[in-house]
Amino acid sequence: MTGYGPQGLALAPAGGSARDLIFERIRAAGQIARVDIARDLSISPATVTTLTADLMSRGLIEETADGRGAGGARGRPRVALRLRADAHVVAGLKLGDRVVTVVLLDFAGRRLAERTTPAGPVPCDAEAVLASVEDALDQALAEAALTRTDLAFIGVGVPGFVATETGMVHWSPTLSVCDVPLAQLLEQRLGRPVAIDNDANLLAMAELWFGVGRAMRDFIVVSIEQGVGMGIVLGNRLYRGTRGRGAEFGHMKVQPEGALCRCGQRGCLEAYVADYALLREAETALPHAPLAPQDRLEKLFAEAKAGNLAARSIFHRAGRLFAIGLANIVNIFDPELVILSGEQMRYDYLYSDAVREGMEANSLDLGHPPVELRIHKWEDQLWAKGAAALALDRLSEQLLAGEMADA
């Protein structure tokens, strides 16, 4: 058992009691003895015994034999605590522009099922989104021999401007309408509690709960797909900003009075780096190529590689502005790690040495080694796991709050 969730303790989390910290510690450890919890959290063994008894009576954790063998002179097996895997099931979904990906996890964070189903063309109306979510979810549930009533919580990742606190999608490239109360609509449709978030935030959640970010306090995930997204983790927690929206890296201004962005403003990073921006420029570099957008993009990239100067300049400019954007982020947040992820990562101009050098050249030199930059392979499944982490987070919050009220 390796556990899941941030390994570092979030110091003074909002409303975090000693019991919540113990719960988080058990979750992160996978399994852990009471004596080790007491040591790690500097809480007395008697308090740990009382609070873990409470978590156990609520069905959240259970005892298990400690794999590290017998303890004590008489060889009595040591007892450890772990999350009760079958206590709850959650679902995480990522809405892509061509597919919906679902993952089902048990309460111990283990995968029960995973499914990717084709989705209709985007942008579409809310009804079409509800239908594709419903369809994808039911297929995943059938694979795990479960029904909707088995789901304790559902997390959904949506590209665009998403307010997780209110469950509103203010704008999304997958939706043809603005200001959709998507979480509420999904709850009505599915009959289960639903939380939604910006998909880049959920990619950061996936790294924080299941990936390299588990062991890091401060890191940043940049995703490049249709648009440019960013998730910021500070002090082992996802940073969401005041309005619950989080970072809009794609709309950082990199060029005054520059190219027109989808958001209606000018000079945004996205207006140089995203698919649609590259395709817009492709008109001049590939004048006689009647191709579907994705093929056109591939062709543009192939042309740039083959030495087409116009095509090459499009990618070079995107890479240069991307490097400046990254440097600005590094200068503000001083993260331990920057992870680049997303479908676009297969176009190497965004993670070339030139981008790394550009980022370093524009970052403040304080005599420290430059920030680590890593490329993570793009997988829809990872994004869906981030959505499942959101579901587990909300569920745990609810369960612990309920217990507080009872206590």
**164 three-state secondary structure:** coil
Q: Which is nearer to Zn ion, 167 or 250 (CB)?
A: 250
Alpha-carbon distance of 42 to 308, in angstroms, equals 63
Least Å distance, CB 98 to Zn ion, is 23
Window 56-95: contact mask with Zn ion (x via CB under 5 A): ----------------------------------------
Alpha-carbon distance of 194 to 182, in angstroms, equals 9
Window 135-174: contact mask with Zn ion (x via CB under 5 A): ----------------------------------------
Least Å distance, CB 279 to Zn ion, is 16
- With CA atoms as reference, report the closest residue to 358 among 329, 400, 401, 389: 329
Q: Which is nearer to Zn ion, 19 or 245 (CB)?
A: 245
Q: Where are the alpha helices (DSSP H) in 234-379?
A: 270-273, 275-285, 293-306, 309-333, 353-362
Alpha-carbon distance of 383 to 44, in angstroms, equals 39
Return the number of other C-beta atoms located less than 10 Å from residue 15's C-beta: 10
Least Å distance, CB 252 to Zn ion, is 9
Q: Which is nearer to Zn ion, 202 or 261 (CB)?
A: 261
Residue numbers 5-34 binding Zn ion by CB under 5 A? none
Least Å distance, CB 316 to Zn ion, is 21
Q: Which is nearer to Zn ion, 128 or 279 (CB)?
A: 279
- Residues β-bridged to residue 345: none
Q: Would you say 262 and 276 are in contact if contact means Cβ atoms under 8 Å apart?
A: yes
Least Å distance, CB 274 to Zn ion, is 10
Residue numbers 223-282 binding Zn ion by CB under 5 A? 251, 261, 263, 265, 268
| Residue in the block written with tokens 């989808």 | 262
| 328-333 CB contacts, 8 Å cutoff, 24+ apart | 328/252, 328/362, 329/220, 329/222, 329/230, 329/249, 330/359, 330/363, 330/371, 331/362, 331/363, 331/364, 333/218, 333/220, 333/232, 333/234
Return the number of other C-beta atoms located less than 10 Å from residue 353's C-beta: 8
Least Å distance, CB 241 to Zn ion, is 17
Q: Would you say 100 and 128 are in contact if contact means Cβ atoms under 8 Å apart?
A: no
Number of residues that bind Zn ion (CB under 5 A): 5
Least Å distance, CB 253 to Zn ion, is 8
Window 294-333: contact mask with Zn ion (x via CB under 5 A): ----------------------------------------
Q: Where are the beta strands (DSSP E) in 72-124?
A: 76-83, 89-95, 99-106, 111-118
DSSP-assigned letters across all residues of 332-357: HH--SEEEEESGGGGSGGGGSHHHHH
Q: Which is nearer to Zn ion, 24 or 248 (CB)?
A: 248
Least Å distance, CB 270 to Zn ion, is 5
Q: Which is nearer to Zn ion, 50 or 265 (CB)?
A: 265
Site residues, Zn ion (CB under 5 A) = 251, 261, 263, 265, 268
